[in-house]
Structure 1
Amino acid sequence: MENKFYIRRAAYYETDRMGIVHHSNHIRYFEEARIDFMHKIGCDVLDLEEQGVLIPNVDAYAKYLKPVRFYDDVYIEVKLVVFNGSRMEYDYTMRFCDNDEIASTGHTTHCFVNSDFKPMSIKRTFPDFYQRLKDNMSK
């Protein structure tokens, strides 16, 4: 798989009484994939937090197409689709590794705030992070 994909195996504790991964875990998988994507492009979330930049999630959406079960391997494609320095939005597509079928799709919206939770633009304060994100926006 290309570097832009995040691979994940569904754990037993993530399943519900029906034996499928609970719907809330899809949002968690998307978050893991987004953190991984940012790390791979040189915008490590921990580095940003240590410099006083927080990235709250302000919106999350998932559409469930096929159930993911215990021990299924899935991969998640992450696309940065909107970015302006103060807000960013991601699209996600989760597929099964064995047959490439789509399990779910999703979307999240995030903003940047300082340690006092005041909105900020990273364009002025962290131009290197800004440029890395801008350069990795989906066309």
Structure 2
Amino acid sequence: MHISTVEAKVRYSETDQMGVVYHANYLVWMEMGRSELIEDLGFHYADMERMGILAPVYNVNVDYKKPCKYGEKVVIRTWIDYYNGVRIVYGYEIYNGVGELAATGTSSHVCVKKENFQPISVRKILPAWHEAYEKAKKK
């Protein structure tokens, strides 16, 4: 299983009145992790989009465990939790500045044609992506 790792520094604008990261910002970090993983595998979302294919989120789950605070560097770990040639579920762990597990989550995606949002088979339409995902996914 391939696990991608990326760091982000918590900006003041990402915190709430309690001094901790506002919950929606974890979704942004998950997207950063997902993009990094895709790049690790040798691909870019933009290339797929130029082909007229999108990968919308249809489900997301986040479990918050410990706070992240302004000025900390957070670590986002991302992997392919499930892949069947059509559906993709990415898994995430986000660690705060002192190395504590701050959040876990998943996001579920399906690749679709841009013009009509009809699902496509990654296996058939993007065979190189399919092969890379098969190799990288969680066993």
Contact 1:43 1:133 in 2 (8 A): no
Instruction: Tell me the CA shift for residue 62 of structure 1.
Output: 0.7
Q: Percent identity?
A: 28
TM-score, L = length of structure 1: 0.93
Q: What stretches of structure 2 of length at least 5 have no aligned partner? A: none
Contact 2:112 2:120 in 1 (8 A): yes
CA distance in 2, matches of 1:70, 1:100: 15
Instruction: Tell me the CA shift for residue 3 of structure 1.
Output: 7.4
1:3-42 equivalent positions in 2, closer than 5 A: 4-42=4-42
Contact 2:3 2:79 in 1 (8 A): no
Instruction: Tell me the CA shift for residue 92 of structure 1.
Output: 0.5
**Cross-structure match for 1:57:** 57
> Is residue 110 of structure 1 aligned with residue 102 of structure 2?
no
CA distance in 1, matches of 2:73, 2:43: 26
- DSSP 3-state at the match of 1:23: coil
Instruction: Please give the root-mean-square deviation of Cα atoms over the aligned residues, in Å.
Output: 1.5
Contact 2:86 2:121 in 1 (8 A): yes
TM-score, L = length of structure 2: 0.93
Runs of 4+ in structure 1 deviating by more than 4 angstroms, as ranges, are: none
Q: Deviations over 1:31-62 (max 9, x none)?
A: 11101111111121111111111000000111
**Cross-structure match for 1:101:** 100
The AA in structure 1 aligned to 2:6 is Y
- DSSP 3-state at the match of 1:20: coil
* Matched length: 137
